[in-house]
Copies of this chain bind each other. A is one copy, B any other.
Amino acid sequence: MQSPAIILIGSQMGENIGAAARAMHNFGLSDLRLVNPRNGWPNQSAIEVARNAKIILDNARIFSSVTEAASDIYHLYATTARPREMVKPVITPRKCANYIWQGMPKKSAIMFGPERTGMANDDILLADSIITIPVSDENTSLNLAQAVSVLCYEYFTYENMTPDKAFSSNEPAPASKQELALFLDNLETELDKKGFFPTTEMHKHMRRNLHNIFTRSNLTSQEVKTLRGVVRRLVGEKSSQ
């Protein structure tokens, strides 16, 4: 199991453990380790919140110290908002994702402290690096499960550097330049008939505007047909229907 482990230390609320598990599952992580969860284990609130990710909870392992939980880990990261007087590299979540992928197949883990107090100094000591999630000065108190989500998301998207798709999957045929030109010619002719272009200068200007509008939208062939129908109908008689 190459993907990094998530180590939750002394978590109080089952809801947070469940939400963390759900986020892990969403973002391709599966190895959850709990160090002294406060309200016992298994935990019903965790199961309810985890929903489809119950398997992550079922496979979670319980430890009584961070040292034990991290015994097979090569790169250990501690998440903490507060700057500590400790000589350790402080990195962003994205940098952490970068390190994790570079470090494979050696196993990494990311630790999170208890909800109220955050990570204890003695546990941070064990870490190779400190991760600080950038937050607004207005509210620096990040929910535990949200913090887990951000790290898991960065891990997953780092792998998945998905190029942006221009269109959704069932890509319809784009209109040819000729189809577009025919539509625009037709529109211009109809507008001219109705006296839309008062002067030659205005004609040139308006024509350019209309071309701009309809060229920019990357119309499909079907859409150009629709627009031709629209113009035909607008200038035509009321239908008998």
Chain A residues close to B by CB (< 8 Å): 19, 22-23, 25-28, 51-53, 83-92, 94-95, 130, 133-136, 138-143, 145-146, 149-150, 153, 156-157, 160, 162, 164-170, 172, 187, 190-191, 193-196, 198, 206, 209-210, 212-214, 216-220, 222-223, 226-227, 229-231, 233-241
Known: A26-B146, A88-B167, A195-B233. 7 other contacts (CB 8 A): A28-B138, A52-B139, A83-B170, A85-B170, A86-B168, A191-B234, A216-B218
Chain B hits for A229, CB < 8 A: 196
Complex Cα distance, B169 from A83, in Å, reads 7
Show 29 A/B contacts (Cβ-Cβ < 8 Å), sorted by A: A23-B143, A25-B139, A26-B139, A26-B141, A28-B138, A83-B168, A83-B169, A88-B167, A89-B165, A89-B167, A90-B165, A90-B166, A92-B162, A134-B157, A134-B160, A149-B150, A150-B150, A150-B153, A191-B230, A191-B234, A194-B236, A194-B238, A196-B239, A209-B223, A213-B219, A213-B226, A213-B227, A231-B234, A234-B234
Residue with the highest number of chain B CB atoms closer than 10 Å, among A27, A136, A198: A136
Among B142, B170, B214, B233, contact of A196 (Cβ-Cβ < 8 Å): B233
Q: Which listed residue (B53, B136, B222) contacts A28, Cβ 8 A?
A: B136
Q: Considering the chains assembled together, what is the distance between the CA atoms of A138 and B55 in angstroms?
A: 11
Indicate which residue in B83, B139, B212, B217 contacts A22 across the interface (CB closer than 8 Å): B139
